[in-house]
Amino acid sequence: MSSTHYTPKRQPRLPLPSWLKGTLVTLASISVTMLGLLFVTFFIGRVMPIDPVIAVVGERATQEQYHAAYLELGLDKSLITQFTYYVWDVLHGDFGMSLLNARPVSEDIKRVFPATMELATIGIIFGIVLGVPLGVVAAVRRGSWIDQIARVVALVGYSMPIFWLGLMGLLLFYGILGWVGGPGRQGIFYEDTFPSVTGMILVDAALARDWGAFKDAFSHIVLPASLLGYYSLAYISRMTRSFMLEQMSAEYVTTARVKGLSEWAVVWRHAFRNIRVQLITVIALSYANLLEGSVLTEIIFSWPGIGNYITTALLSADMNAVLGGTVVVGLIFVCLNIFSDLLYKIFDPRSK
């Protein structure tokens, strides 16, 4: 009599929901990107021709002091162990101590980053408000005088050195005409006259309703922000023009005109609507470039932002500050890419 062995059927695995799968893929991508960034910054810190022990104890330290600092910094351990400790510290917001002021680098970044964010935000608003309409009109009036102006504006924006424009702007609008405030974020008279809530002076002055300080801060930020905004305007207007030229030659635009729709409706309700998703990436990348690429502007205008902070730290061989600032800038790029992906899904349901 044969006995049959019952083997239960394996239940099929339920597929993951699309939103969960997308979230997991995004988290994995962020993790790999940040790990790669941390590896690069760690490697740069090790290959730089700067002895971190000498930077801490000074050139006149004794051999015992040098060896004690060497052990305290963990340089006697393997590179893999050092990198593991480095990643662990960064995940806990610890970038080490600044050699310039003996303060935690994380506290310094919290102090200087709002200044850069305020400057870049006003700059990108300037670039969007002027660059997008200029690019649209230049595409619609292709070959006209306004198209030529838009192309010249973009060409000058890409060609002129930013430090030269900054110096000329200071000379003309501050030194000769006196229309704007000088270098720095505020005049001496308005320093510490209202509480710092966000670190952004215009916002804090408005919250405190100190309109005199607000006007003074605006007079200081308007020139460097306009300078950064001009560079973003050049890029945004050029890309907007290119996107719109492609749409204006499409068949649906011709069909809309044949149906008798007004030119305003054809341009803004149809053609421009189809380039919004592309513009999201352009604006996000432009904003990220302003946040990390405002080094020369901050130096020229003595703007105490993260670009100025990293440059000063690099010239002083303060590698903890340099690497900490680099990681923060990289994190900004990652966050802006995620934000642009979210906007993609909002404006283009097909990308979900």
Q: Does position 190 have pLDDT exceeding 90, yes or no?
A: no
Lowest pLDDT segment from 54-63, 82-91, 301-310: 54-63
Domains for the chain: give ranges and CATH numbers: 18-91 (no CATH), 107-351 (1.10.3720.10)
pLDDT at 222: 92
pLDDT at 133: 92
> Which has more confidence, 220 or 291?
220
Q: How far is Cα 245 from Cα 25, in angstroms, rounded to an integer? A: 35
Q: How far is Cα 189 from Cα 216, in angstroms, rounded to an integer? A: 10
Give the pLDDT confidence of 198-209 residue by residue, as tens digits: 889 899 889 988
Mean pLDDT on 207-225: 90
Lowest pLDDT segment from 61-75, 181-195, 202-216: 61-75
- What confidence category does residue 69 fall into, taking pLDDT thresholds of 50, 70 and 90? confident
Give the pLDDT confidence of 13-58 residue by residue, as tens digits: 556 566 566 667 777 877 888 888 888 878 877 776 667 777 667 6
- What confidence category does residue 267 fall into, taking pLDDT thresholds of 50, 70 and 90? confident
> Which has more confidence, 29 or 213?
213
Mean pLDDT on 98-124: 88
